[in-house]
Amino acid sequence: MIKPWVNRCFLVIVVFVLQACATKGIDPTQSGGLTISTVDSKDVSVSNVYVRQFENEILIHADARPTEPVRFFHPGHLSFELFTADGHQFFNLDVTRYTRKHSDGHRSKMKHVSFWVRMPIDLPNGARLTVSHHEKSVHEKK
C-alpha cells in the first residue's frame, strides 16, 4: 500500500511540472532588453526568430527556409551570436542539429527546419542577437 505522504509528494511534483510547462517565458524584445537581427545566405532565409527568458535560462528559436522551392533541402547551420550593449561578444554558438523537414503545404516542395538553443543564462540588458545562416554544415571561421 502506498503511504499518503507519497501521494501528496507526487501531486506536488506534478503540479510544479505542469506549471513550468505552462509558462511561455518573457519576450525580452518587447521590453527593449534585446534586439534581433538576421543574416540570410544566398539560398536560405532565416525567419521566425524569437527568444524567451525563463527564470534561469533562455530559449532561442529560428527557422531556415529555402528562398525558392527545392526538392531536397540541405539546411546547413545557423550561428547565434549575442553581444552586450557595449559591443562585447557574450557568446557565439554554431547549431547544426535541427528538427525533421516540414512541408508548408500538402503538395509544396518548400521546406523549413527549426533550430533551437536553450542555455542557462540571464540576458544582459540592451543585448543584440544576430542569427546567421551558413550553407555548409560545418562553420569555417576566418
Q: Which domains, from first to last, does the chain contain?
A: 25-134 (2.60.40)
Cell of 138: 560545418
- Per-residue pLDDT of 20-70, as tens digits, reads 544 578 889 888 889 999 999 888 899 999 999 988 899 999 998 888 887
- Per-residue pLDDT of 77-94, as tens digits, reads 889 999 999 999 988 888
Cell of 121: 543564462
Residue-wise DSSP of 60-113: EEEEEEESS--SS----EEEEEEE-TTS-EEEEEEE------EESSSS---EEE
Strand order in the sheet with 34-39: 34-39, 127-134, 77-83, 89-95
CA 83 to chain centre: 16
Q: Which residue has the cell 536553450?
A: 118
- Per-residue pLDDT of 105-134, as tens digits, reads 555 566 778 888 888 888 888 999 999 998
Element (H, E) at 37: strand 34-39
Cell of 118: 536553450
Cα gap 142→140, rounded to integer Å: 6
- Verdict on whether the full-model pTM lies above 0.85: no
Mean pLDDT across 2-15: 59
